[in-house]
Amino acid sequence: MSLLVVGSVAFDAIETPFGKTDKIVGGAATYISLCASYFTKDVQLVGVVGDDFPAETIESFKQHGIDTEGLQIKQGEKSFFWSGRYHNDMNSRDTLVTELNVLADFDPILPESYRYPEFVMLGNLAPKVQQTVLERLGHRPRLVVMDTMNFWMEIALDDLKQTLMMVDVLTINDEEARLLSGEYSLVKAARKVLTMGPKFLIIKKGEHGALLFHENEVFFAPALPLEDVFDPTGAGDTFAGGFIGYLAKTKDISFENMKRAIIHGSAMASFCVEKFGTERLIGLTQGDIHDRVEQFRKLSQFDFQLA
């Protein structure tokens, strides 16, 4: 049984206080699948690119063991393009450009071998498309995780609310949780979002870590304090890829195991931000990942007796 990943596969242009890139490869599904491929060799990618997308990148997906049969290449069309500029704190950014291009009328076609995944990661994409993917599956997967962003809350809220009814876990950042719920307090926001469909909610807070909410329980994982954050683009997607990749590897979807999955997601995201784009996600070893997870364990572990 496999992990099906759908999302944007894109070109990004990024500006941070440390520099600027021309068009580089990005996209939610790119980060998610590359990251998840370190946990499971059964990643199936659904997405669409134009004929401007580099063949070498598709080749590198394959080298990571990612099944790209579901990645459509549209001749004569352009890939999705996103451009963003980070503020000095690197925790917030402005979107400068969103050109949907091939994503504007994306019809997510699932090859037959993709129709029975155990895990599904709906990466950032039009909520209607995320929904279509679920409708085209041959069964109800064990776990569906969905990511989305303010862009879709602003232009497709009704679709988004429908899709939310079909998923188990939602991952959004703090700003998006406030926008979706209309509540400033993240605890109140979480309570509200948990009535909209998902049974679990992860609120990502960038350098301030991530919160997992489920019923009346909350778990908090810190982010690794890094000397230099070079480019936060894709950190949220990498986090999601590590989270679901770990669950797919361990096949345990309990709240306790989700805590461990969050730590793995956070560890993977800490690699992502160390270089521009996906650069740091290529060629990691299991030893690198193990050491980083161990750093996380030490960062937040303490032991004392309650009086």
Positions in the binding site for ligand AMP (CB under 6 A): 8, 10, 12, 26-28, 82, 98, 124-125, 149, 151, 233-237
- Shortest approach of ligand AMP to residue 272 CB, angstroms? 8
CA dihedral 147→148→149→150, nearest 10 degrees, is: -140
Torsion (CA) 67, 68, 70, 71 in degrees, nearest 10: 160
For residue 277, the minimal CB distance to ligand AMP (Å) is 8
Sign of CA pseudo-dihedral 48, 53, 55, 57: negative
Q: With respect to ligand AMP, which residue has the nearer C-beta, 68 or 124?
A: 124
- CB closer to ligand AMP, 142 vs 209: 209
Smaller CB separation from ligand AMP, 67 or 237: 237
Give the other-Cβ count within 10 Å of 176's Cβ.
Answer: 23
CB nearer to ligand AMP: pick between 50 and 234: 234
The two tokens of residue 103 are 């994503």
Token output for 307 = 């009086």
Least CB distance to ligand AMP at residue 215 (A): 27
Residue 35 vs 258, nearer CB to ligand AMP: 35
**Which residue sits closest to ligand AMP, CB atoms considered?**
26
Q: For residue 49, give both structure tokens.
A: 């690119």
* C-alpha closest to that of 90 among 178, 22, 14, 39: 14
Give the residue with the Cβ less far from ligand AMP, 109 or 149.
Answer: 149
Nearest-approach distance from CB 219 to ligand AMP, in angstroms: 21
| Pairing assessment for the beta strands 169-173 and 200-204 based on DSSP bridges | parallel
- Enter the tokens of residue 85: 């500029």
Nearer to ligand AMP, 24 or 137 (CB): 24
- The whole-angstrom separation of Cα 16 and Cα 196 is 35
Least distance CB 126 / ligand AMP (angstroms)? 7
Min dist. Cβ of residue 129 to ligand AMP (A): 10
Determine the Cα–Cα distance for residues 33 and 138; give it in Å rounded to an integer: 22
Rounded least distance, CB 207 to ligand AMP, Å: 13
What would the DSSP string read from start to end of 243-286? HHHHHHHHT--SHHHHHHHHHHHHHHHHHHTTSSTTGGGSS--H
